[in-house]
């Protein structure tokens, strides 16, 4: 893998475990929006190691990270960690879009519009 997207080979095994233990929201996002270049022809990867993190979804071409946040992200401590993670990824040149699991499960059309809008604006 290239250094272009700060691939961390030490997280490869952990990322593979995550792919095999995806949340319902991650599965819905993947199968409904991002798999097989469904999102405007862009290729996304699941559970991709970047720096010291594992991104739920990553598009190398757009330098876009998409995260699905479930109940474990609701605590103040988790929100602080998410903010640090987002800042670090932004500092590395990546854009981060976060969606609540409930939104992915119950309003996938809005999730699609949000991602498509971001792509149209930043392409």
Fold of 3-122: Endonuclease; Chain A (3.40.960)
Higher pLDDT pick, 5 / 118: 118
> Averaged over 26-34, what is the pLDDT?
96
- The pLDDT of residue 1 is 39
Total-model pTM = 0.84
Rounded to an integer, the average pLDDT of 52-80 is 87
pLDDT digits (tens, 9 = 90+) for 77-123: 878 999 999 999 999 999 999 999 999 999 999 999 999 999 999 98
Least confident of 5-9, 10-14, 43-47: 10-14
Beta bridge partners of 53: 50
Say if residues 68 and 23 touch (Cβ distance below 8 Å): yes
Strand spans (E) along 60-114 = 64-69, 95-100
- Report whether pLDDT(18) > 80: no
- pLDDT, averaged across the chain: 86
User: Can you tell me the distance from the alpha carbon of 83 to that of 88, in angstroms, rounded to the nearest whole number?
Assistant: 9
106: number of CA atoms within 13 Å, CB side? Answer: 4
pLDDT confidence of residue 86: 96
With a pLDDT cut of 70, the percent of the chain lying above it is 80
């Amino acid at each position: 893998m290239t250094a272009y997207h700060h691939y961390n080979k030490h997280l490869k095994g952990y990322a593979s475990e995550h792919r095999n233990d995806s949340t319902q929201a991650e599965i819905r996002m993947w199968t409904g929006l991002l798999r097989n270049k469904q999102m405007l022809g862009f290729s996304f990867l699941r559970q991709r190691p970047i720096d010291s993190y594992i991104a739920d979804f990553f598009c190398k071409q757009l330098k876009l990270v998409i995260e699905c946040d479930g109940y474990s992200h609701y605590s103040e401590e988790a929100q602080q960690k998410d903010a640090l993670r987002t800042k670090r990824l932004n500092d590395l040149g990546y854009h981060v879009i976060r969606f609540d699991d409930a939104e992915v499960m119950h309003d996938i059309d809005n999730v699609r519009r949000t991602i498509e809008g971001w792509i149209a604006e930043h392409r």
